[in-house]
Chains A and B, each alone.
Chain A
């Protein structure tokens, strides 16, 4: 068990480092650097030279990466090339805001999709199943920015009950941001729900057809008890990985949705950093994204082990 954990953690660290390296290399390949991007059409040779000098961009890229990585290990993500402020400060603020959306989305999407998936599975091929399946399929097929736009049209413009965009800055108190969290959460949940619903539905159908459920029924247990106590734990197992993948997908999905809502989260921070080629910020975001991704998968594996006795014993007998 311990070796397994250590091995997983080491490979996780490797993945994160690799992600940082790839992002760094990719930005080097993008045309233009921070000086030309920030200056745009005002980028006369003199102005670019002055800014490059000022930003210390003339040293080799590899050297800058090594220095950055050394700092990042100690928790120092350097200073933004554009604003000159430490990256860490704005990174944590934006991350906090994104986690607000992510947590709300996970709570809403996972709960509702498991309930819907179970219902669809139990009523297989009858009208509740058809309704749930086609609705979630539609939700899955529409890109999140379209869902977001439709929500704004309905709930901010036609019936103005929720803000269309966030006017607050990243440093706003959580309480001020709460009304702005609703629409992004709904938009992301709509897209995310479909996958989990379909997975849950399939495994519920499989499990309900299995012998131990039949046994439980034959014991004379009530339908509710059979589903909750016997079928659900087994049915959730394959669903866990899908949930983990979806939480990781959130990290990318929020980029688009945050920009539509002008929400000051990590996705908006990332897009701005890409536009201005602000490497330290971009790499910090990439590392945070990679860490979230790796942690989600790790958590899914551990949870799968906790739920599945066969995996645990398998590990023990291998030793």
Chain B
């Protein structure tokens, strides 16, 4: 099975979940329960690859356990506090991403730009209706886009789109045509609209959308309480036809152990937004009711070196840190094989713009580089936390591997509760991850471009920024791809981010569930169903 990123613009960030107690609870449960799983913990991973597929029964109710973001979560897709699982069911975008990572039509049937990539025209699908019966027109699309770049809303995608989109130059010349005149040329513009913040909402509904959830998606909202439970039901007039299921019920559970117990006891059918640790995953897979499905390459693991902090201000030290370790070793130890080496390239393998460029591991060269940089016998602190079950194993595997190049790594555990406020972007070296599912252009611009607010390594490289600018202005797809690949090479050779691996997310689900496919947190809502 080829490893390819599935479509869809995944959420841009690690979810805002505090997993301190949950994590401890899961460890406790796993330690207790592992005795019951055949094979125990010494066995090689035999976790199943994908979910069962087939023809599901018509109708049925799927019950999902999800971690509650907070009582502040809303159904507003543009905000920073959206309840992810609902979005893909309730809304559609203009452009979506298909299973190969290419842009594909959603509410827009087609789009084209002028020669410069400045004036864009999107032609909307005819006969699409919102859940309240109103007809979708380009006025709704224009409203959605203008709202995304509204500084008052502070949408996460606003930082990506604001440099491009002037709200005054978003027009709706005909009900079925949306016109956008960008501030600067960009041939990747449609890809930037595949993000989950870009779901189309009805014109003027901005203040109410957080509670009403009125969109054009295959399900409509029946009830929703922030941080609590909710229910969505099939929308029979959906433009692609109604979904298989009658309804989906969402339950919020803070504790990972509670979510797992609910699945094992048959109270729920699927656990969303949860990467189960290996011990728990084996327990789940060994049960009669539940099993594990892997969301392939769903998580991109990073060891960001802060390029503005000693000793990583020196490119030679950064290079040595990368040459020193063996990504294969990290994958084997931290992921027990459920992932692929990243070779320090943040673009997921198999996606359209990915380059297979990599630098062979060479501890001796790392040693020599450190000597040249005057940093022989380098000692660094590597921060990790229980926020994600893989952070600490990844850090320890890196430490052991880098020791062969004479680099002394001290792994330090920080509180999961405040990991992303105190450690991330504050400590020179730490362990973190992102969800994959972003187009390469957005990924490289958001996380690696000088001055971007998500630039976790604070790397600033004029050549890299120039390559991205040039790529965006380049009309020819092959040449554009080449420029993005050059940019990736710069990240591999000079950037501050070490990417040891891409990991599959281990999702717990009932054996009754058919056709589970997930990209980011968006399921294939139309096809997912239950066994007849």
Q: Is the CB of B253 within 8 A of A42?
A: no
Q: Is the CB of A42 within 8 A of B418?
A: no
Q: Is the CB of B70 within 8 A of A165?
A: no
Determine the chain B residues whose CB is within 8 A of the CB of A44 once the complex forms. 154, 156, 159, 453-454
Q: B254's contact among A32, A145, A268, by CB below 8 Å, is which?
A: A268
B60 at the interface (CB under 8 A from A): no
Q: B21's contact among A84, A167, A271, by CB below 8 Å, is which?
A: A271
Q: How far does the Cβ of A94 sit from chain B's closest Cβ, in whole Å? A: 12
Q: Indicate with 1 or 0, residue by residue over A273-284, a CB within 8 angstroms of chain B CB atoms.
A: 011101000000
A38 to B258, CA, bound (A): 22
Q: Is the CB of A169 within 8 A of B265?
A: no
Which A131-166 residues have C-beta < 8 A from chain B?
145-146, 149-150, 152-153, 156-157, 160, 163-165
Determine the chain A residues whose CB is within 8 A of the CB of B418 once the complex forms. 30-32, 37
From B1-9, B174-182, B223-231, B394-402, the one touching the partner chain is: B223-231
B359 at the interface (CB under 8 A from A): no
Determine the chain B residues whose CB is within 8 A of the CB of A274 once the complex forms. 417
| Chain A contact residues: helix, strand, loop or mixed | helix
Q: Indicate with 1 or 0, residue by residue over B3-18, a CB within 8 angstroms of chain A CB atoms.
A: 0000000001111111
Q: Is the CB of A80 within 8 A of B71?
A: yes
Determine the chain B residues whose CB is within 8 A of the CB of A37 once the complex forms. 16, 18, 70, 418, 421
Determine the chain A residues whose CB is within 8 A of the CB of B71 once the complex forms. 80, 82-83, 85, 272, 276, 278
Q: Indicate with 1 or 0, residue by residue over A72-93, a CB within 8 angstroms of chain B CB atoms.
A: 0000000010111100000000
Interface band, chain B: 35 or more
B262 at the interface (CB under 8 A from A): yes
Q: A31's contact among B225, B226, B262, B422, by CB below 8 Å, is which?
A: B422
Q: Is the CB of A149 within 8 A of B28?
A: yes
Q: Is the CB of A169 within 8 A of B258?
A: no
A261 at the interface (CB under 8 A from B): yes
B350 at the interface (CB under 8 A from A): no
A44 to B264, CA, bound (A): 38
Q: Is the CB of B70 within 8 A of A272?
A: yes
B140 at the interface (CB under 8 A from A): no
A176 to B87, CA, bound (A): 30
A127 to B401, CA, bound (A): 58
Q: A39's contact among B16, B265, B422, by CB below 8 Å, is which?
A: B16
Determine the chain A residues whose CB is within 8 A of the CB of B257 once the complex forms. 149, 260
A21 to B55, CA, bound (A): 60
Which A258-300 residues have C-beta < 8 A from chain B?
259-262, 268, 271-272, 274-276, 278
Q: A271's contact among B154, B254, B268, by CB below 8 Å, is which?
A: B254
From A45-53, A192-200, A206-214, A311-319, the one touching the partner chain is: A45-53
B25 at the interface (CB under 8 A from A): yes
Determine the chain A residues whose CB is within 8 A of the CB of B70 once the complex forms. 37-38, 82, 272, 275-276
A39 to B262, CA, bound (A): 28
Q: Is the CB of A31 within 8 A of B421?
A: yes
Determine the chain A residues whose CB is within 8 A of the CB of B16 once the complex forms. 37-42
Determine the chain B residues whose CB is within 8 A of the CB of A157 once the complex forms. 261, 264-265, 287
Q: A32's contact among B12, B152, B422, by CB below 8 Å, is which?
A: B422
B72 at the interface (CB under 8 A from A): yes
Closest to B33 in A: A153
Given the interface pairs A80-B71, A149-B28, A262-B258, the reply to whether A50 lies near B229 with Cβ below 8 Å is: no
Q: A41's contact among B13, B255, B258, by CB below 8 Å, is which?
A: B13
Q: B12's contact among A38, A39, A42, A275, by CB below 8 Å, is which?
A: A42
Which B232-288 residues have C-beta < 8 A from chain A?
251, 253-255, 257-259, 261-262, 264-268, 287
Given the interface pairs A165-B261, A169-B225, the reply to whether A82 lies near B255 with Cβ below 8 Å is: no
Determine the chain B residues whose CB is within 8 A of the CB of A262 once the complex forms. 253-255, 258, 262
Q: A260's contact among B33, B227, B228, B255, by CB below 8 Å, is which?
A: B255
Closest to B434 in A: A41
Determine the chain B residues whose CB is within 8 A of the CB of A149 once the complex forms. 28-29, 32-33, 257, 261
B354 at the interface (CB under 8 A from A): no
A36 at the interface (CB under 8 A from B): yes
A272 to B156, CA, bound (A): 24
Q: How far does the Cβ of A5 sit from chain B's closest Cβ, in whole Å? A: 40
A163 to B251, CA, bound (A): 14
Which B406-459 residues have C-beta < 8 A from chain A?
415, 417-418, 420-422, 424, 453-454
A66 at the interface (CB under 8 A from B): no
Given the interface pairs A42-B13, A157-B261, the reply to whether A167 lies near B159 with Cβ below 8 Å is: no
Which B179-215 residues have C-beta < 8 A from chain A?
none
Determine the chain B residues whose CB is within 8 A of the CB of A25 once the complex forms. none
Q: Is the CB of B72 within 8 A of A83?
A: yes
Q: Is the CB of B421 within 8 A of A165?
A: no
A312 to B400, CA, bound (A): 70
B490 at the interface (CB under 8 A from A): no
Q: Is the CB of B453 within 8 A of A259?
A: no
Q: Is the CB of A43 within 8 A of B254?
A: no
Determine the chain B residues whose CB is within 8 A of the CB of A43 once the complex forms. 420-421
A50 to B415, CA, bound (A): 26
Q: Is the CB of A259 within 8 A of B258?
A: yes
Q: How far does the Cβ of A35 sit from chain B's closest Cβ, in whole Å? A: 10
Q: A164's contact among B13, B15, B264, by CB below 8 Å, is which?
A: B264
Determine the chain A residues whose CB is within 8 A of the CB of B254 once the complex forms. 259, 262, 268, 271-272, 275
Q: Is the CB of B81 within 8 A of A38?
A: yes
A-B pairs, 7 with minimum CB distance: A40-B16, A83-B71, A164-B265, A32-B421, A41-B13, A44-B453, A164-B261
28 A-B residue pairs with Cβ-Cβ distance under 8 Å, sorted by A, are A31-B421, A32-B421, A32-B422, A38-B70, A40-B13, A42-B80, A44-B154, A44-B156, A50-B154, A82-B71, A146-B28, A149-B33, A150-B32, A152-B261, A152-B265, A156-B265, A157-B261, A160-B265, A164-B258, A164-B262, A165-B261, A167-B262, A256-B21, A271-B21, A275-B20, A275-B417, A276-B70, A278-B71
Which residues of B does A touch, CB under 8 Å? 12-18, 20-21, 25, 28-29, 32-33, 36, 68-72, 80-81, 151-152, 154, 156, 159, 225-229, 251, 253-255, 257-259, 261-262, 264-268, 287, 415, 417-418, 420-422, 424, 453-454
